[in-house]
Structure 1
Amino acid sequence: MLGTDFSTGSPIWIDLGSPDRDAAAALYGAVFGWQYVSAGPDAGG
């Protein structure tokens, strides 16, 4: 049986454009507990 650790309707990822990627990653990590994962240069980041 498959299971998830998130509530139905919760966002599981977001694409965010920012002129300062490191600062944005630190801010959103501190405020929301989000993790930054780069999709690599082929995906624009």
Structure 2
Amino acid sequence: MSSRQTLVKTLRILAVAVLTAALSAVPAHAGDYYWDAGGGIDTS
């Protein structure tokens, strides 16, 4: 069970890292639209 919990935590960390990288790789205009939709955060 302990090793399974460690695996789950590792997968969660990897998922967050992948999502962060994906958002960083989004084209600038798409990123601006995303942040505007998410609360008007200006990324320019």
Is TM (by shorter chain) over 0.5? no
Q: Between Structure 1 and Structure 2, whose CA radius of gyration is higher?
A: 2
Ranked by relative contact order (alpha carbons within 8 Å, sequence separation 6 or more), the top structure is 2
Larger relative helix fraction: 2
TM-score normalised over the length of structure 1: 0.27
TM-score normalised over the length of structure 2: 0.28
